[in-house]
Amino acid sequence: MKRIVFCGFRGTGKTEIGKLVAVELHLPFIDTDTLIEQNTGRSIPDIFHENGEERFRAVEREVMATLPEKDVVVSTGGGAVIDPTTMEHLRKESVLVLLVSDIDTIEQRLVRKPRPPLTNLPLREEIAELMDLRRQHYHAAADFCVDTSETTPAIAAETVIRILKQGVVKVNHRTSGMEFFRTGRIPPQALHTLQELLIGPDRDPLTRIMGVAGYPCAHSKSPALFNALFARFRLNYHYTWFEDPEISEIMMVARSLDAKGLSVTIPFKQDVMKYLDEIDEHATRQIGAVNTVVFACGSAIGYNTDWLGVRKPLVTLKGATAVLLGAGGVAAGAAYALTDLDMKVTILNRTPKNAEVLAGQFGCGWGTLEDIGKIKPDLVVNATPLGMHPDDHSPLSDDQLNKEMTVFDLVYTPPETPLIKQARRIGCRTITGTEMFIEQAREQFYLFFGIDVPGEQVREMIP
Ligand code: NAP
């Protein structure tokens, strides 16, 4: 039997419910906090207060690496989910059950059964602050979510066992989900796999679906990349293409199939926001576009990882003078990333009005493509689609570039665009769109699963 791992905030019932599930399934039970105390001969508050949280997490990581990989029920410490390496250990071949409770219930339980404080804050404030800090990590950890606020441990344990045996997706939703996928342009082999997973006689009720949402998106490389990552980290997930002209339809199907998450692409990055329960600060207030949706505990939460994909390869150019070509959705994320790196940014675009609007949003200069000569930038970032099509030319002429410049083309198909070829010929430092693709995919994987994949591993897996 797969390893069953309970995660969640203190006071949600991980140990009590975990023990009941273990008894019912005739499996041994391990509480990782107890194991840490046995292994070190010290109490957890002692390790925390004498050596700090970092040391405690290191000890916790070592313990997680030694857990049996199957036929066991494990209850983890409340903060274990924040450590990416711990998550990698815990997720291997496992089912992660996130237990949640409302703040009043947790407070009452911790008053009845006090535990050593984790901060200097009063109890309720401590709970609120830590739950908020860890929320994204709990969502990433959840294969399944069970609310223990208004229930007994025995009933919660029954719910967990029912989920383990049957999953949570209703038969009619699996059937209509299959009809939805048949209308998209999914390759026949991938459609066959989906059929096996959703309605096949040997289907595993715990396998979860996720995918890329777009129209069109059948060309997307994300399914091949994510499925390779699932195999690498031994995750019981399958990633596919959610292709439909209506994002409302995609969101409905994704929710009904209990999808873990979606990567959102053209043309839905703005429209999807209407269908979300929450949106993170970077995505809404600044960029106005979502490219990642995480479904957890009945909510759909939107994030933007495109801007991180632009930011990461440019961290050494903090404070540079930059020109951003284009003023569309990806340019908004790029403008956010460049200004976040304290760069002096000018947005140049085919339609100057669109550049002016975006520039106003981020406090940048603006103009037309011809204005590049007046600026003499250290960095040029191309956020137009020029370069994607075989007969495309570079957006700039040779005399608009010089060898002191760094040129970052966000277009990643083909990997070597006319702009990149031209910049290399002139002697500029170049960064290809593949770097952005790798970094934004790493961030997505982290939001979905709490695991930090090294960039080189992602690079090797890109088809
Ligand atoms: P978009 O919203 O359609 O915006 C395109 C921008 O490019 C607009 O400002 C548009 O100018 C300009 N533009 C379009 N065609 C042009 C042309 N022929 N000449 C000059 N300017 C032109 O597109 P987007 O969503 O921002 O995506 C832009 C590109 O980013 C995509 O094509 C894709 O290659 C790349 N991308 C890369 C990654 C990655 O991971 N590397 C991820 C996502 C996207 P107007 O305002 O005048 O229309």
Nearest in space to 355 (alpha carbons), one of 378, 376, 334: 334
- pLDDT surpassing 80 at residue 30: yes
CB half-sphere exposure, 454, CA atoms < 13 A: 4
pLDDT at 206: 97
| pLDDT above 70 coverage of the chain, percent | 100
pLDDT at 329: 87
412 in contact with ligand 1, CB cutoff 6 A:
yes
405 in contact with ligand 1, CB cutoff 6 A:
no
329 in contact with ligand 1, CB cutoff 6 A:
yes
Rg (CA), the chain: 24
The CA angle 187-189-192, to the nearest 5 degrees, is 110
Cβ-count burial 262-298 (b if 16+ within 10 Å, e if not): bbbbeebbeebbebbeebbebbbebbbbbbbbbbbee
* Whole-number Cα distances in Å, 158 to 143, 155, 208, 267: 17, 5, 21, 43
Three-state DSSP state, 17: helix
Mean pLDDT computed over 235-251? 98
Q: 166 pLDDT band (50/70/90 cuts)?
A: very high
Nearest in space to 14 (alpha carbons), one of 104, 83, 84, 81: 81
- pLDDT surpassing 80 at residue 16: yes
* pLDDT tens profile 270-325: 999 999 999 998 877 789 999 999 999 999 999 999 999 999 999 999 999 999 99
* pLDDT tens profile 62-78: 999 999 999 999 999 99
Position with higher pLDDT, 41 vs 1:
41
Dihedral, CA of residue 195, residue 292, residue 91 and residue 95, to nearest 10: -50
**DSSP collapsed to 3 states, 33-64:** HHHHHHHHCCCHHHHHHHHHHHHHHHHHHHHH
Q: Checking DSSP bridges between strand 292-296 and strand 299-303, what pairing results, if any?
A: antiparallel
pLDDT at 463: 86
- pTM confidence score: 0.95
Pocket test for ligand 1, best of 384, 417, 459 (most atoms within 8 A of CB): 384
Measure the CA–CA gap between 304 and 307, rounded to whole angstroms: 7
Nearest in space to 241 (alpha carbons), one of 207, 274, 272, 215: 215
Mean pLDDT computed over 387-416? 95
| Residue having the nearest C-alpha atom to atom 1 of ligand 1 | 328
Q: Which residues contact 206 (CB under 8 A, 6 or more apart)?
A: 2, 95, 143, 164, 167, 236
Pair of tokens at residue 3: 């390893």
Ligand 1 atom with minimal separation from the 331 CA: 26
Three-state DSSP state, 416: coil
> 181 CA to middle of ligand 1, Å?
28
32 in contact with ligand 1, CB cutoff 6 A:
no
Element at 278 (helix H, strand E): strand 278-279
Element at 180 (helix H, strand E): helix 171-183
Measure the CA–CA gap between 206 and 193, rounded to whole angstroms: 15
Mean pLDDT computed over 322-335? 95
* Whole-number Cα distances in Å, 333 to 96, 269, 345, 346: 33, 11, 13, 14
Measure the CA–CA gap between 4 and 201, rounded to whole angstroms: 24
Pair of tokens at residue 13: 């019932």
Helix axes 14-25, 153-166, angle to 10 degrees: 60
Mean pLDDT computed over 386-406? 95
Q: Which single residue is written with the structure tokens 């404070």?
A: 319
Pair of tokens at residue 15: 């140990």
433 in contact with ligand 1, CB cutoff 6 A:
yes
* pLDDT tens profile 82-128: 999 999 999 999 999 999 999 999 999 999 998 888 888 999 999 99
153 in contact with ligand 1, CB cutoff 6 A:
no
* Catalytically annotated residue among 2, 165, 269, 312: 269
Q: In sequence order, which ranges of 30-149 are alpha helices (DSSP H)?
A: 32-40, 44-65, 84-91, 103-112, 123-141
Mean pLDDT computed over 177-202? 96
> 329 CA to middle of ligand 1, Å?
7
Task: Quote the mean pLDDT of the chain.
Answer: 96
Question: Active site includes 269?
Answer: yes
* pLDDT tens profile 421-430: 999 999 999 9
CB 440 within 8 A of CB 308: yes
Q: Which residues contact 52 (CB under 8 A, 6 or more apart)?
A: none
